[in-house]
C-alpha cells in the first residue's frame, strides 16, 4: 500500500496505453499510428529558426492552428479549441460538462479513457452495453439526463454510428451535451461536423494522431458552438494555458493545410483495410465492419490472448483486451502492405499448426 496516495487517487482506473517496446524491432500494429511519415510541409515548417524559438512560450490561444482548422471545416476560430492530443480535449470536456447533477454515459466496449476520466473527476457514470453485434443503439441513451460520449467510429470495434442517430439524441434534449469522439472518422465514418451549424449542444472531438501522421506531436481539437468552446477554454486556462507546444502548433497548422497528402494517406489506408479484411476472412476470421484505421477480428481456432502472445513472440505487435465480451478478439492497426503481408503470412502459418 502506498501511504502517500490520497483516497481519491486510490480510486482511479488508469488508462493502459498500447505497448511501446524498446527491446527489439517489431512490426507494430497495436496503437493505430499511421505507417506514413508526416507531410513534407510539416517537415519544412519545422525549421531551425523555429527551433531557436523554443526558449519562448507557445501561443496560448493557438491562433494560427485554430485558424487553419476552422478554415478546413468552414467554421470560425471561435468554434475551435486545440489541445495536447484529443485526450486532453476530452479531459477538458469531462470537467466542463459533467459533475454534480450531471452524470456521463458511454458504452461498455469503447475507448477506456472515458472510464479513466470519469474516475479522475469523481463523476457519476452510466455504462450502457452495446448490442450483441457491437453496434450502439441511440434508443438506449434517449432518456439519459446527463452528458453522452460516443466514439464514432468506435474503438476498439471500428463500427461507426450513423449521423441520424446522433441527431436524434441532440434533438431529444437540447440541454444535454453530446460529445462525438471522431478520432478515426477520416477513414470512412460519417462526421457530425456539418450538424454544428444546427445544434448548440454538439461537441465534435478530433485528433491529428491518425490521419495526419502526428501521433508524436500530440495535437487534438474540438469543434462546437461558442458556448461549448468557451466552457472548454475556461477549463484549459484553469489548468494549462500553454497546452500546445510551439513545434506542435507549427506542425499541426502545416498538416491541416496539406489536403492532398491527407487524402492520399487516408485513401491508402482504406484500400489496405479492405485487403486485410479479405485476407483475414480467408483465414477463417470473423472481422467486424470497420470504418477506422484498424480492424477487430477473432479466430474460431485460437483465442485472442493466444494470438497476441504468439504474434509478439514472432515480432508482430497487435492489441488484445482481456475484458468481457471482447476477450476473443485482437485489434490490428492497418499499416503498410509490407506490414500487413508479414502479419497475414504469420497468421496463416500459425493456424496451419493448430
| Residue range 286-295: mean pLDDT, rounded | 98
Tell me whether residue 2 is in a domain: no
- Together in a domain, 230 and 291: no
pLDDT tops 90 at residue 271 = yes
pTM beyond 0.85: the answer is yes
- Together in a domain, 243 and 287: no
| Residue range 212-232: mean pLDDT, rounded | 98
- Give the per-residue pLDDT at 168: 98
- Together in a domain, 223 and 326: no
> Of 212, 233, 258, which residue is a domain's last?
258
- Give the per-residue pLDDT at 49: 85
CATH code of the domain containing 112: 3.40.640.10
Domain that holds residue 313: 10-37+260-352
- Together in a domain, 223 and 128: yes
| Residue range 93-104: mean pLDDT, rounded | 97
- Together in a domain, 248 and 278: no
pLDDT tops 90 at residue 21 = no
pLDDT confidence tier of residue 24, bands split at 50, 70 and 90? low
Tell me whether residue 276 is in a domain: yes
Listed residue (42, 98, 87, 61) closest to 255, CA to CA = 42
pLDDT tops 80 at residue 22 = no
- Together in a domain, 180 and 323: no
pLDDT confidence tier of residue 3, bands split at 50, 70 and 90? confident
Tell me whether residue 170 is in a domain: yes
Tell me whether residue 296 is in a domain: yes
Q: Is 201 in contact with 248 (CB distance < 8 Å)?
A: no
pLDDT 10s digits, 297-338: 999 999 999 999 999 999 999 999 999 999 999 999 999 999
- Give the per-residue pLDDT at 48: 87
pLDDT confidence tier of residue 1, bands split at 50, 70 and 90? low
Look up residue 196 and give its DSSP letter. G
> Of 258, 282, 312, which residue is a domain's last?
258
b/e 318-352 (16+ beta carbons within 10 angstroms → b): bbbbeeeebebbbbbbbbbeebbebbbebbeebee
- Together in a domain, 127 and 250: yes
CATH code of the domain containing 305: 3.90.1150.10
- Give the per-residue pLDDT at 20: 81
Beta strands in the chain (DSSP E): 27-28, 80-83, 104-107, 125-128, 147-151, 178-181, 202-207, 220-224, 285-287, 294-299, 316-317, 329-333
Q: Is 244 in contact with 208 (CB distance < 8 Å)?
A: no
Tell me whether residue 1 is in a domain: no
> Of 258, 284, 319, which residue is a domain's last?
258
- Together in a domain, 147 and 229: yes
Count the domains in the chain: 2
- Together in a domain, 109 and 50: yes
- Give the per-residue pLDDT at 260: 98
- Together in a domain, 62 and 202: yes
Distance CA 217, CA 208 (A): 8
Tell me whether residue 4 is in a domain: no
Tell me whether residue 331 is in a domain: yes
pLDDT tops 90 at residue 187 = yes
- Together in a domain, 139 and 56: yes
pLDDT 10s digits, 56-75: 999 999 999 999 999 999 99
Across the chain, mean pLDDT equals: 96
- Together in a domain, 29 and 88: no
Tell me whether residue 87 is in a domain: yes
pLDDT tops 80 at residue 2 = no
- Give the per-residue pLDDT at 280: 98
Give the residue with greater pLDDT, 48 vs 248: 248
pLDDT 10s digits, 126-162: 999 999 999 999 999 999 999 999 999 999 999 999 9
Amino acid at each position: 500500500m502506498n501511504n502517500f496516495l490520497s483516497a481519491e487517487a486510490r480510486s482511479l482506473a488508469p488508462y493502459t496505453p498500447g505497448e511501446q517496446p524498446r527491446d527489439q524491432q517489431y512490426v507494430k500494429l497495436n496503437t493505430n499510428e499511421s505507417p506514413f511519415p508526416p507531410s513534407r510541409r510539416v517537415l519544412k515548417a519545422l525549421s531551425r529558426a523555429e527551433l531557436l524559438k523554443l526558449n519562448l512560450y507557445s501561443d496560448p490561444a493557438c491562433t494560427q492552428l485554430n485558424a487553419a482548422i476552422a478554415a478546413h471545416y468552414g467554421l470560425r476560430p471561435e468554434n475551435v479549441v486545440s489541445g495536447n492530443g484529443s485526450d486532453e480535449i476530452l479531459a477538458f470536456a469531462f470537467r466542463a460538462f459533467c459533475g454534480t447533477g450531471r452524470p456521463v454515459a458511454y458504452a461498455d466496449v469503447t475507448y477506456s479513457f472515458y472510464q479513466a476520466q470519469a474516475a479522475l473527476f469523481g463523476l457519476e457514470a452510466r455504462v450502457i452495453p452495446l448490442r450483441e453485434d457491437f453496434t450502439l443503439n441511440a434508443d438506449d441513451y434517449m432518456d439519459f439526463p446527463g452528458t453522452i460520449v460516443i466514439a464514432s467510429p468506435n474503438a476498439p470495434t471500428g463500427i461507426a454510428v450513423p449521423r441520424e442517430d446522433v441527431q436524434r439524441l441532440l434533438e431529444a434534449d437540447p440541454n444535454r451535451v453530446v460529445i462525438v469522439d471522431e478520432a478515426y472518422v477520416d477513414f470512412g465514418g460519417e462526421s457530425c461536423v456539418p450538424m454544428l451549424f444546427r445544434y448548440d449542444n454538439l461537441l465534435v472531438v478530433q485528433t491529428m494522431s491518425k490521419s495526419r501522421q502526428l501521433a508524436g506531436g500530440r495535437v487534438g481539437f474540438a469543434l462546437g458552438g461558442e458556448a461549448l468552446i468557451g466552457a472548454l477554454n475556461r477549463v484549459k486556462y484553469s489548468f494549462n494555458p500553454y497546452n500546445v507546444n510551439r513545434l506542435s502548433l507549427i506542425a499541426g497548422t502545416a498538416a491541416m493545410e496539406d489536403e492532398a497528402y491527407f487524402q492520399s494517406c487516408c485513401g491508402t489506408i482504406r484500400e489496405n483495410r479492405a485487403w486485410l479484411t479479405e485476407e483475414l476472412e480467408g483465414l477463417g476470421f470473423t472481422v467486424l465492419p470497420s470504418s477506422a484505421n484498424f480492424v477487430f477480428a477473432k479466430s474460431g481456432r485460437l483465442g485472442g490472448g493466444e494470438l497476441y502472445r504468439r504474434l509478439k513472440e514472432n515480432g508482430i505487435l497487435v492489441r488484445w483486451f482481456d475484458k468481457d465480451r471482447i476477450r476473443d478478439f485482437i485489434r490490428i492497426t492497418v499499416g503498410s502492405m509490407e506490414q500487413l503481408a508479414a502479419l497475414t503470412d504469420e497468421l496463416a502459418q500459425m493456424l496451419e499448426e493448430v
